[in-house]
Amino acid sequence: MDFAGAYSTDNLKFLLDGLYITLIVAFISIILSFVIGCIVGVIRYSAIPVLSPIMFVIVELIRNLPLLLIIFFIRFALPEVGIKLGLITAAIAALTIFEAAMIAEIVRGGLTSVDKGQIEAARSSGLTNFQTLWHIVLPQGLRRMVPPLVSQFISLLKDTSLAVVISLPELMHNANIVIGHGYSYAIPTLLLVALIYFSVNFLLSMLSRRLETKTV
């Protein structure tokens, strides 16, 4: 095990460059998937004729496909029909599509968990369906969604490593290149990468606990 060689200035900078790409892809994917997932989740919860069943089919289809297949499809299949995306854009698109489907189910479940008695009381007091959703259902549902949402975001961050298959220069991709310079770099490099992933995900977990505490 060559810790000194693995942790040379050039290698550490190379790994940090990969971490930067990982965080950028994860951050953008989290924002986009959260927005899309919330919209789709609300549509599913609202049981809108025609639209809700369509969303159900799309969500279930995506949720039951492996993320790796979606990454391959966007990167290699879409160019066949004239849609060519760059590495980072393709990774973000794949992660957003996959995670939005997961988040949509979390949102729908969180909204469904709100006591129906409160909804009926709100409706009987003269609130419209939208007002009931906005003032009664969403505030309570969102509080209950915090832990599963953060868990999903942590999964998304780790799933960025799957983009190594399309040569996205993220953390694992760059780690593989460092290891390729010498097998004695393998254990030190992988230990450092594991520490980085753990640190970032642990911070997200701590944030989740603080948010959960504040919303109780």
Look up the domain containing 44 and give its range: 3-215
| CA pair distance 20, 14, nearest whole angstrom | 10
- What is the domain count for the chain? 1
CATH number of the CATH domain containing 14 = 1.10.3720.10
pLDDT in tens, the chain (216 residues): 888 888 999 999 999 999 999 999 999 999 999 999 999 999 998 888 999 999 999 999 999 999 999 999 999 999 999 999 999 999 999 999 999 999 999 999 988 888 887 777 777 777 777 788 877 888 888 888 888 888 899 999 999 999 998 989 999 999 999 998 888 999 999 999 999 999 998 988 887 777 666 655
| CA pair distance 82, 197, nearest whole angstrom | 36
Give the per-residue pLDDT at 216: 52
Q: Is 161 exposed, middle or buried (0-12, 13-18, 19+ CB in 10 A)?
A: middle
Q: What is the pLDDT of residues 92-105, one digit of tens each?
A: 999 999 999 999 99
**CB of 136 within 8 A of CB of 73?**
no
Read off the pTM: 0.88
Q: Is 94 exposed, middle or buried (0-12, 13-18, 19+ CB in 10 A)?
A: buried
Give the per-residue pLDDT at 169: 93
Give the per-residue pLDDT at 96: 97
What mean pLDDT value characterizes the chain? 89
